[in-house]
Amino acid sequence: MASSNASKRVVVIGAGVVGLTTAVKIQEKGGYNVTIVAETFAGDPKTIKYTSLWA
């Protein structure tokens, strides 16, 4: 039987605005170990590649 203080594992697919926001909100809730899976992660926030086409 797992202990009551064990973290639940969550995988978020994508590191766009929605994916990162979802990961942060889940992490803030507490009790979750969040992993983000993405093809690429943003680099320099001053470049156009930092944002998604939809946000």
Domain that holds residue 20: 8-50
Residue at 44: amino acid letter: D
Task: Please tell me whether residue 32 adopts helix, strand or coil conformation.
Answer: strand
In a domain, 19, yes or no: yes
Tell me, yes or no, if the pTM score tops 0.95: no
pLDDT of residue 30: 92
pLDDT of residue 16: 83
pLDDT of residue 28: 95
Taking only the tens place, the pLDDT of each residue in 5-41 is 678 999 999 888 889 899 999 999 999 999 999 887 7
Rounded Cα gap, residues 10 and 44, in angstroms? 27
Total domains, the chain: 1
In a domain, 44, yes or no: yes
Identify the residue whose tokens are 């697919």.
13
> CA neighbours within 13 Å on the CB side: how many for 2?
5
pLDDT of residue 45: 60
pLDDT of residue 37: 93
